[in-house]
Amino acid sequence: MSETSYFFCGVGGSGMAPLALMMRARGFAVEGSDRALDQSRGSAKFDFLRSRGIALHPQDGSGVTRPDQLVVASAAVEDTVPDLVAARAVGAEVRRRPQLLAELFGQASSRVGVAGTSGKSTVTAMLAWILDRAGLDPSVVNGADMRNFVTEETPFASARVGGPDLFVAEIDESDGSIALYSPTVAVVNNVSLDHKSMDELRELFAAFTGKADIAVLNLDNDETRRLAEARQEGMITYSLSDPAANLLACGPQERPDGVDFRLAEDGRSHIVRLLTPGLHNVSNALAAVAAARALGVPVDQAAEALSGFRGVRRRLEVVGTSGGVTVIDDFAHNPDKIAATLATLRAFPGRLLIMFQPHGYGPIRLMRAELAEAFAQGLACDDLLLIPEPVYFGGTADRSVGSAHLAEDLRGLGVQAEALPDRDACAGRLMELARPGDRIIVMGARDDGLTVFAEEMLRRLG
């Protein structure tokens, strides 16, 4: 057992929990705290962390008592949080999550960084499964639970602890920390407006791919196509439409529970049968196959592995059906993800009753017009969108723009949209409206309570 002790402030977060589990599996003493734990939310996840030997404390500073503790804080944790105040008082070192992940990432000889505005978690999970099936024993840190690695003993599987030589990580650009990583293989699915301006994003992604020996780039996105045109060599490209791509998806056939397509590669073709629906998942599959090819996995072997890929949690995840109404839990929260989810859902019949919780006040202020446009383009005239106030767990966020402003924009675009004060009000409205044939979609990010809400909707329907 290593003498180094880690304390994760925000340990239950989607980006923090896999890192805490990774450090614990590598033999380090690990402790942590979380606002959600103090608010009695997400108890199953915290029980799981405890079962892995991670000691949990209230987020009141009581767990940070020694200068030899290394305190790791998520991006959402402010300097005024008691744990960080306590760290300064006892002289403990404080690192942000991306710093620790970049350090672990850099220790591997083969490093795959999966980046882009949308699809990162799914591509990371697809690649992890391909590499696992190929016997390459990857270490993986993802931002979502990978269903192929979920077992009764491991109900939360956002990390896979493998060997030290191959590391795959979902890389986030939202806080600029993508600049900390030096991948040998850089995957960029797409680039579009999310947390930063387009000029900032272009600079970040160009630098990220510029460090890599091989860049995996999507020719169907204008921004990633520009990256490919600027690079010229040392890359693998993919597309659903451009025959110049190294990997091309041909003739996709959508099903309610998946999609089939032919993957063309250097004059050869391979049949891929995905268990995850939507054309966006065809693109994600191409990215994963391309990254695997960059690591020496034959394309036919990668394509075969994908036939057993079962997706990631909260990505168009069907919670269940009751009384003829299907409840779906989905992570979509930015314009691209929302557009992809709605396109997949609209390919099949059934009215959509959506409860969309914006993932913060800052994002709704930055992307207000783009969010409205994505919903307006993807919803039919009889669909309904309910919007509670953005997720907020405390802090100093500017709350001047909220859900009522977005709902007003949406109604101006002809969408049936209602801003409601909270999720309880949304639940009541959904129960009032739902009828056989409808689909209830619980949509949003950064809040484990959304899954609990979706499960509650299914119970109430019954």
Q: What is the pLDDT of residue 267?
A: 86
Mean per-residue pLDDT for 84-95?
96
How much is the pLDDT for 396?
58
In this prediction, residue 1 has a pLDDT band, given cuts at 50, 70 and 90, of very low
pLDDT of res. 81: 94
Question: One-letter amino acid identity for 361?
Answer: Y
Answer whether residue 140 shows pLDDT above 90: yes
Over residues 2-13, the pLDDT tens digits come to: 477 999 999 998
What pLDDT shows up at residue 232?
A: 82
The whole-number average pLDDT for the span 448-461 is 92
The tokens describing 426, both together, are 């949304």
Mean pLDDT of 428-452: 92
What is the average per-residue pLDDT within 446-460? 90
The proportion of the chain whose per-residue pLDDT surpasses 90, expressed as a percent, equals 76
Per-residue pLDDT of 373-427, as tens digits, reads 999 999 999 999 999 988 765 555 677 777 899 999 999 999 999 999 999 999 9
Q: Check residue 13 and give its pLDDT.
A: 87
DSSP characters over 35-57: HHHHTT--HHHHHHHHHTT-EEE
Task: Give pLDDT tens digits for 165-220.
Answer: 999 999 988 778 899 999 999 999 999 866 667 888 899 999 999 999 999 999 99
For residue 66, give the amino acid letter: R
Percent of the chain with pLDDT over 70: 97
Mean pLDDT of 41-62: 93
pLDDT, residue 393, reads 56
Task: Look over the chain and give the mean of its residue pLDDT values, rounded to a whole number.
Answer: 92
**Mean of the pLDDT values across residues 99-128?**
95
* pLDDT value at residue 194: 64
Helix 299-306 and helix 120-133, axial crossing angle in degrees, nearest 10:
110
Q: What share of the chain is helix, strand, coil (3-state, %, to 5)?
A: 35, 25, 40
Whole-angstrom distance, CA of residue 122 vs CA of residue 142: 9
Residue closest to 127 by CA, chosen among 294, 291, 295, 296: 291
Q: How is residue 193 written in tokens?
A: 């407006």
Question: Rounded CA gap, 403 and 394, in Å?
Answer: 17
Q: What is the pLDDT of residues 319-333, one digit of tens each?
A: 999 999 999 999 898
R_g over Cα of the chain: 22
